[in-house]
């Protein structure tokens, strides 16, 4: 009876957890960089800008095209979009655990919901709930695979192929997903479905290319998506970073292994489960780091890379040596997790932890049927919830360190489209000054190096097709951007504290304006520049 009620609790907790997270975290923080990056591009597309012809973007376009749907919600666009990000993570976590459990012929619903909750919490961790191409890629890929693999209906397989293509067109690393999907269907000898998948996927890809061609954007598409993403980026993110992570191997695994062995000796009659020990160790370790360093990236790096390595080695051994074909689907998901980690700035598998956590749970699958597992599951959920609640007291901000308790200023008081968004005093003052300046220059302004949602919240058009003039995000367009600015006499509202021109994450365009243009207006946070004719 207790087990039955606990199952109901866990099921409903999973259903409501995206909304709980949205209430606790979605209203807090905004940095004007990553936080509005995708939605800022969506605003341009929403206003009939043509991808690559009018919009500068170094990845495939589906993320900003898709998220433009939320802009129809007006003042509620940002806050609802933040909720949706949590729904995305919960959706792909659940579908992944469900599909792997089915492949393993394991049908315990309590386990599926429990592991989906833990996968959601770790994958969401303290990353801000913002539209993001990496999350979109996983989301569309998993839904596409779910429809293709789990249904025989031709229309659903075709729909799955379309959704899978959407995932491919979010970010270059996901190009591998249709290839491994093809391989899986081929290995399963499901040739009828394979033909439908290949045919429909190819047709939809052709239609996408045709859309670009009809809008004279195909050549620019090729130039922009290939100009910044190099082979060395793949090698660094996809291989070298994993090799380097071995230095943390003993630090990550030795404590839980030691505790496990000690408990086995001290308590020989009690079954000790390594799954819970490794999860508890990760969470306690992260909690300690949040409390002392306000940093989550380095922590995530320590365990997610190593867990990935252990997971893929274990899966390959099961497939190659023991010939256990049920691990084939698991391998596919692990490869998607690896693809999600290929990134300039967030080189982690942490966004997609579901397949890795399933592997950790394999030794104790049968124990989830027992009532003795209730306390362990509940304790794990509580500890994970507390860990990330503490961690989110310092929300992600590229501009300056901040504290959630200081976020008492309603940004909607300045721009109504920031409905229910709270920021600290520094950010509030910044946008108060921006409000005054943007009112002066109407449609003919840009903010450098970035204020990614400024044109959305001011209902203006971006005159240069890019919101963030970071070197990595403008590819070879530096001279064209400067030319547009000068020919159209565009006012550049330039933030004084962000003038670094160097490297992938610097801004040569910003530095050029600072060095060569004339200041026509000075403010506390921003100066306004215009071209000296």
Which helix (H) or strand (E) segment holds residue 32: the answer is none
Q: What is the pLDDT of residues 411-441, one digit of tens each?
A: 999 999 999 999 999 999 999 999 999 999 9
pLDDT given at position 182: 98
Between 372 and 385, the more confident residue is 385
pLDDT given at position 298: 53
Instruction: Report the SS3 class of residue 215.
Output: coil
Using a 10 angstrom Cβ sphere, with 0-12 exposed, 13-18 middle and 19 or more buried, the burial of residue 533 is: exposed
pLDDT band at 297 (very low <50, low <70, confident <90, very high): very low
Q: Is the N-terminal amide bond of 48 cis, ω within 30° of 0?
A: no
As a whole number, mean pLDDT of residues 71-95 equals 98
pLDDT surpasses 60 at 255? yes
Residue 459 structure tokens: 């209902």
pLDDT band at 75 (very low <50, low <70, confident <90, very high): very high
What does the alpha-carbon distance between residue 531 and residue 243 come to, in Å, rounded to a whole number? 48
* Lowest-confidence pick of 35-44, 192-201, 377-386, 498-507: 498-507
C-alpha torsion sign, points 492, 495, 498, 499: positive
CA dihedral 133, 138, 143, 144 (to 10 degrees): 80
pLDDT surpasses 70 at 1? no
Q: Which of 192, 208, 203, 220 is nearest to 58 (CA)?
A: 220
What does the alpha-carbon distance between residue 11 and residue 211 come to, in Å, rounded to a whole number? 43
205 with 214: CB under 8 angstroms?
no
The most confident of the ranges 103-117, 202-216, 369-383, 475-489 is 202-216
pLDDT surpasses 90 at 518? yes
pLDDT surpasses 70 at 300? no
pLDDT given at position 72: 98
Using a 10 angstrom Cβ sphere, with 0-12 exposed, 13-18 middle and 19 or more buried, the burial of residue 104 is: middle
Q: What is the pLDDT of residues 177-209, one digit of tens each?
A: 999 999 999 999 999 999 999 999 999 999 999
Between 417 and 270, the more confident residue is 417
What does the alpha-carbon distance between residue 379 and residue 301 come to, in Å, rounded to a whole number? 25
pLDDT given at position 365: 87
What does the alpha-carbon distance between residue 298 and residue 348 come to, in Å, rounded to a whole number? 10
Which helix (H) or strand (E) segment holds residue 398: the answer is none
Q: Which residues of 342-357 are buried (b: 16+ CB within 10 A; e: fewer)?
A: bbeebbbbbbbbbbbb
Residues of the chain with pLDDT > 90, as a percent, come to 74
pLDDT surpasses 60 at 44? yes
pLDDT surpasses 60 at 40? yes
Q: Which of 31, 39, 25, 128 is nearest to 398 (CA)?
A: 31
97 with 514: CB under 8 angstroms?
no
Q: Which of 303, 310, 247, 246 is nearest to 280 (CA)?
A: 303
What does the alpha-carbon distance between residue 447 and residue 494 come to, in Å, rounded to a whole number? 6
Other beta carbons within 10 Å of 261: 12
pLDDT given at position 294: 46
pLDDT given at position 438: 96
* Lowest-confidence pick of 148-152, 224-228, 377-381: 224-228
282 with 301: CB under 8 angstroms?
no
349 with 338: CB under 8 angstroms?
yes
251 with 289: CB under 8 angstroms?
no
* Lowest-confidence pick of 58-72, 198-212, 369-383, 404-418: 369-383
Other beta carbons within 10 Å of 279: 22
As a whole number, mean pLDDT of residues 321-336 equals 97
Q: What is the pLDDT of residues 13-28, one digit of tens each?
A: 999 999 999 999 999 9
**Backbone angles phi and psi of 476, in degrees to 5:** -100, 20
């Amino acid at each position: 009876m207790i087990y039955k009620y606990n199952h109901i609790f866990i099921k409903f907790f999973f259903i409501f957890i995206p909304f709980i997270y949205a209430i606790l975290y979605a209203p807090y923080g905004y940095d004007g960089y990553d936080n509005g990056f995708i939605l800022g591009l969506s605003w341009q597309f929403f206003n009939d800008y043509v991808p690559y012809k009018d919009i500068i973007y170094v990845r495939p376009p589906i993320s900003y095209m898709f998220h433009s749907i939320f802009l129809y919600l007006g003042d509620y666009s940002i806050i609802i979009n933040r909720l949706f990000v949590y729904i995305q993570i919960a959706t792909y976590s659940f579908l992944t655990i469900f599909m792997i459990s089915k492949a393993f012929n394991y049908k315990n619903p309590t386990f599926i919901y429990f592991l989906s909750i833990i996968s959601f919490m770790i994958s969401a961790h303290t990353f801000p709930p913002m539209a993001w191409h990496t999350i979109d890629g996983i989301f569309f890929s998993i839904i596409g695979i779910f429809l293709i693999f789990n249904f025989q209906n031709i229309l659903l397989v075709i729909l799955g192929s379309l959704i899978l293509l959407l995932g491919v067109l979010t970010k270059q690393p996901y190009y591998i997903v249709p290839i491994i999907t093809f391989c899986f269907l081929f290995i399963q000898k499901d040739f009828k479905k394979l033909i439908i998948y290949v045919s429909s996927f190819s047709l939809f890809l052709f239609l996408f290319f045709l859309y670009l061609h009809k809008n004279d954007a195909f050549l620019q598409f090729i130039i922009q998506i290939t100009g910044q993403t190099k082979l060395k980026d793949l090698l660094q993110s996809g291989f070298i970073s994993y090799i380097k992570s071995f230095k943390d191997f003993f630090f990550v695994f030795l404590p839980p292994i030691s505790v496990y062995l000690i408990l086995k000796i001290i308590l020989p009659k009690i079954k000790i489960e390594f799954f819970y020990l490794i999860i508890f160790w990760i969470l306690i370790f992260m909690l300690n780091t949040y409390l002392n360093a306000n940093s989550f990236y380095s922590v995530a790096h320590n365990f997610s890379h190593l867990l990935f390595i252990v997971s893929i080695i274990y899966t390959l051994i099961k497939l190659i040596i023991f010939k256990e074909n049920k691990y084939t689907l698991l391998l596919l998901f692990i490869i998607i997790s690896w693809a999600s980690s290929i990134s300039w700035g967030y080189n982690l598998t942490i966004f997609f932890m579901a397949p890795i956590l399933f592997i950790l749970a394999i030794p104790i699958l049968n124990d989830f049927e027992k009532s003795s597992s209730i306390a362990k599951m509940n304790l794990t959920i509580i500890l994970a919830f507390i860990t990330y609640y503490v961690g989110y007291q310092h929300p992600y901000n590229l501009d300056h360190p901040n504290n959630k308790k200081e976020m008492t200023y309603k940004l909607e008081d300045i721009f109504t489209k920031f409905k229910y968004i709270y920021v600290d005093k520094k950010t509030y003052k910044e946008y108060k000054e921006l409000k005054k300046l943007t009112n002066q220059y109407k449609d003919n302004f840009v903010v450098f190096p970035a204020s990614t949602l400024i044109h959305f919240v001011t209902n203006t058009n971006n005159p240069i097709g890019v919101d963030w003039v970071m070197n990595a995000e403008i590819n070879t367009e530096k001279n064209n951007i400067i030319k547009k600015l000068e020919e159209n006499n565009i006012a550049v509202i330039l933030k004084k504290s962000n003038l670094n021109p160097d490297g992938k994450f610097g801004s040569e365009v910003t530095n050029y304006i600072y060095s060569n243009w004339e200041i026509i207006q000075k403010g506390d946070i921003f100066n306004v520049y215009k071209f000296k004719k």
